A and B are shown apart, each in its own frame.
Chain A
Amino acid sequence: MFIYLEDVNFTYNLSMPFETKALKDISLEINEGEFIGLIGHTGCGKTTLIQHFNGLLIPTSGKVYVEGLDINERGVNLRLIRQKVGLVFQYPENQLFEETIFQEIAFGPKKLGLSEDKIEKRVREALKMVDLDYNLYAERSPFSLSGGEMRRVALASILSIRPKMLVLDEPTANLDPQGSNKILSEIKAIHDNFGITVVLVSHNMEKVAELVGRLLVMHRGEIILDGPPREIFGKYADDLIKVGLGFPPVTRCMHELKAKGKEIYTGVLTVEDAEKEILVRVKRFNKQLKT
């Protein structure tokens, strides 16, 4: 178990007129190597939840353990926890500040007190992970890049501290389809090749559904669904609609066919799956016609 949350509650502005309960009795286990998608309506508590994963927020009540360390305990080394859990905020390009991309990515390792050689190694490694050529990019200013590239540099600057877990808050917001596919495929490669645990917060149902192995759905501060995406999109359509979440268009298509009394599997997430499912049904229908 990498992260363990036990009955976590979080209230903003506690005992003030604007008191808001953002998390309610959340218990959650995240295992090493998982690839998790976190979805939910704006204001449902997604960002509040992920800020508990590395101690940026401390629960109002309940416990959070990161690799067995209780983040609430006195004297716990929060720096160490933040090294283990890298958080990539929304619009991370806004936090770029250095003169060159090398310096930007070296910032974290430098703060860790690593030697020059090791720092360079880390920068090379991190740039490679986000598929940017060291020789072409290292000496450029991060501000001369396109939006998608800036975001990948910001991601690299977190990867360079070698976190065991990566939490990304809407990494594709405002990128064009190619830019967002690129960053998502890099995140997937980082997960697959380096065994880094990933939590991906996103509004993009289509893409999330395709990528992750486990989906968490939040609503009003609670986790209401937790399971493989196929199961969630296939079986809990009504719940998703109730909490204001959409489906990938092909999934919606399957649900509407089912609503019309057609026999069809609704846990379809990609165009390929939909094509297969439809062709099977069409064949069966033709057979019935013949007999």
Chain B
Amino acid sequence: MVSILIKINNLCHIYNPDKKNQIKALDNISLEIKRGDFVSIIGANGSGKSTLARHLNCLLLPTSGDIWVNGMNTKDQDKVWEIRQEVGMVFQNPDNQIIATTVEDDIAFGLENIGVNEEVMKERVEWALQVVEMEEYKKSEPHLLSGGQKQRVAIAGVIAMHSSYLVLDEPTAMLDPRGRKEVMNTIKKLNREENITIIYITHLMEEATESNRVVVLDKGKIALMGRPEKVFTQVETLKKLKLDVPQITELAIRLNEKGLDISPHTLKVEEMVDYLCLYI
């Protein structure tokens, strides 16, 4: 039986092995990401987030340990292209990822490479544009789009390949609040409606609260893992790991300490408002 998940087993990665500047970027990571999951990965700069992400589609190979994507080992040379089709990657700067002169050409680029016939290609491009809500920009030139729109085009290019996993490495770092919201909404929709598994790297705790599971990395190790409301209540540990606590959670914890019957696991503004309506 082929298991439909990403399985990471005792993954270690060492940059520049056996040299003076040897760095152990990942240290014995084991993790399972099931189909349909929405996992966010947080951690200070240099904690190994991007190194981990790059292992998921064979951009990097483990120094030791294994990764299986739907049962395929990433070390298996013959499976590289199949794995890369399964696991799509979106980077921080959409300008590095967009190459064609119109939006639809850009989305079709990956499909052309794998020799999809024209009819199917058109269908998939239409579908991908619809999912990221960019249909009306089909003929636009990518460089005239806003940051959020560009990032959505980059996402469309990946999902057109029918990838079941989408890895996003700080996709909103360069965007303004509106662009961030656009991209976040697109990702949530992909996860809920298209059942695409999301692996989301971010520095923004507010974004991480949207996921089902948070993995906190520290010096290449998993320091914390669990549902966001569990992870974000561990204020002391998070601060020790150089991370922030979402504002709303911090407020809930403080109010709880002052004797209000508010759950310290509150993450979202709406929950907070509902609670407070009982007291004010």
Contacts and interface: CB of A to CB of B under 8 A. Distances in A.
B276 A42 contact: no
B251 A275 contact: yes
Interface residues of A, number: 39
A227 interface: no
A57 interface: no
A178 B170 contact: no
Interface in B215-251: 242-244, 246-248, 250-251
Contacts of B260: 278, 282
Interface in B243-280: 243-244, 246-248, 250-251, 254-255, 258, 260, 269-270, 272-273, 276-277, 279-280
Contacts of A186: none
B203 A41 contact: no
B246 A249 contact: yes
A271 to B, nearest CB: 5
Contacts of B246: 249
Given A41-B176, A244-B177, A257 B273 contact: yes
Contact of A174 (B173, B244, B250): B173
Contact of B175 (A42, A176, A206, A264): A42
Interface in B123-163: 146-147
A205 B280 contact: no
B97 interface: no
Interface size range on B against A? 35 or more
Interface in A160-215: 173-179, 203, 205-206
B270 to A, nearest CB: 8
Question: Which of B175, B246, B258, B276 has the most chain A CB within a 10 Å cutoff?
Answer: B276
A42 B243 CA distance: 27
Interface string A253-281: 10011001011100000010011001101
B19 to A, nearest CB: 14
Contacts of B205: 177
Question: Which of B44, B181, B269 has the most chain A CB within a 10 Å cutoff?
Answer: B269
A146 interface: yes
B280 A262 contact: yes
Contacts of B181: 246
Nearest to B243: A177
A220 interface: no
B254 A271 contact: yes
Contacts of A250: 247-248, 251
B269 A249 contact: yes
Contact of B179 (A42, A147, A173, A256): A42
Question: Which of B173, B203, B206 has the most chain A CB within a 10 Å cutoff?
Answer: B203
B46 A146 contact: yes
Given A179-B45, A262-B277, A253 B272 contact: yes
Interface in A209-258: 244-246, 248-250, 252-253, 256-257
A248 B247 contact: yes
B242 A178 contact: yes
B125 to A, nearest CB: 26
B244 A177 contact: yes
Contact of A245 (B146, B174, B177, B247): B177
Contacts of A271: 247, 250-251, 254
A142 interface: no
Contacts of A175: 45, 203
Question: Which of B92, B147, B176, B242 has the most chain A CB within a 10 Å cutoff?
Answer: B176
A281 B277 CA distance: 11
B20 interface: no
Contacts of B250: 271
Contact of A253 (B248, B254, B279): B248
A37 B207 CA distance: 23
A147 B45 contact: yes
B242 A177 contact: yes
Contact of A260 (B146, B258, B273): B273
A205 B177 CA distance: 9
Closest A-B pairs by Cβ, 4 of them? A178-B242, A244-B178, A246-B177, A177-B244
Interface of A: 40-43, 146-148, 173-179, 203, 205-206, 244-246, 248-250, 252-253, 256-257, 260, 262-264, 271, 274-275, 278-279, 281-282, 285
25 contacts: A41-B178, A42-B178, A42-B179, A43-B146, A173-B174, A175-B203, A178-B44, A205-B177, A244-B176, A245-B177, A249-B247, A249-B269, A250-B247, A250-B251, A253-B269, A253-B273, A257-B280, A262-B277, A271-B247, A271-B254, A278-B251, A278-B260, A278-B280, A282-B260, A282-B280
Given A175-B203, A282-B260, 12 more contacts: A174-B170, A174-B174, A176-B43, A177-B242, A177-B244, A246-B177, A253-B272, A253-B273, A257-B280, A271-B254, A275-B254, A278-B280
